[in-house]
Amino acid sequence: MLRRQGAAKRCNPVLGHVTLVWADGDPQSWSAFSGSCLCTGTPVWFLNGIHQYTRKGYETAAKDFDTQDLDVSVVGRSFMITGANSGIGRATAVAVARKVGGTVHMVCRNKDRAEAAREVIVNESGNTEVYVHIVDMEETRQVWEFAEAFKQQHRTLNVLINNAGCMVHKRETNAEGLEKNFATNTMGEITVSSGGMLVQKLRADDLQSEKGFFDSVMVYAQNKRQQVVLTQHWAKANPVIHFSVMHPGWVDTPAVSKSMPQFHRMMGERLRRVEQGADTVVWLALSRAAARTQSGQFFQDRRCVPTHLPLAWTHSPAEDIQAFIIQLDALAAAIRSQPDAEPDAHTHPATPETL
């Protein structure tokens, strides 16, 4: 999650990203654990998840939360949340909107669902300063165009929460020829991550999953590792912006139910409620305690946690990380250089005057 006091046009470290984010809490499925043990850390990761990523894990961690951390003023501050119409994104939007004086920008793909969610958020929070922007996060050029338009139309953006994410089970490409999971989870909304990344080492030689068997769960976990690496890189490259990446735990969301039905059925009531999954996102976006942490850290239940499991062999050499960043820069430059598309209702955000 990115936090900044200043002009929105300064918050654009990479293509279409005014800052950092966390991605929807889609954990690895049990089928991936039992049938695709790709590294020695996977059993450790799953057993650790049973204790920490579930509803019980959250309730245990919450006993140590400081109840005053979220007793803050957000008057005059603006927040952008991608994927804000359902699941963790909507729960985050409600929690932020309940703080008097703040403005919430919802970035969603489907206009009807977004407007319905906005009505719920306004009714539950009592805050009418909630605005909808229609953007397809799978289409990287569209994300960049939206970011450019937002900078021109709005004076500031204080916090960006990149929550939107996807898990496409077959290899498909977007209009720019980018694999859709990579386009959405890495190029389009970099930075709420997932515990699944703990079993993945960065693969700088295959960013778009073109080699070998396409396993959507492993691709998703690789995207999450990419997010963590990017967050650490951005934190070093942009010291005036505070970056954080987080894991919401295993959460009962529509995305998990649809993308991982077997895992969803197996975990059942052990899955966290969406408000519990959103808690650390809200804490990172609002609290002074979070602002005092070192930029570029990975969080779980309001605590900074390691980005690698013991004996998982997921550390990457500096040259792999540099190769990864260079490839992203090249992809971003190529997309920015494309001819401007004809404007339409789907590529430009709604403004307060049009809502």
Q: Nearest CA to 339 among 143, 145, 136, 139? A: 145
Token pair listed for 322: 């540099």
SS3 per-residue string spanning 68-117? CCCCCCCCCCEEEEECCCCHHHHHHHHHHHCCCCCEEEEEECCHHHHHHH
d(CA 20, CA 185): 12
Considering the candidates 53, 58, 131, 220, report the single residue annotated as catalytic. 220
Q: Nearest CA to 247 among 300, 197, 307, 297? A: 300
Q: How far is CA 67 from the centre of its chain?
A: 25
Q: CA 93 → CA 24, 82, 90, 125, 130, distances in Å?
A: 14, 10, 5, 9, 9
d(CA 307, CA 58): 19
Q: CA 69 → CA 64, 281, 284, 290, distances in Å?
A: 12, 13, 10, 9
**In what side-by-side order are the strands of the sheet with 103-108?**
130-134, 103-108, 78-82, 159-161, 2-3, 242-246, 297-300, 303-304
Q: Provide the residue type at 198 as one letter.
A: L
CA end-to-end span of the chain: 27
β-partners of residue 2 are 160, 243
58 is catalytic: no
The residues annotated as belonging to the active site are 220
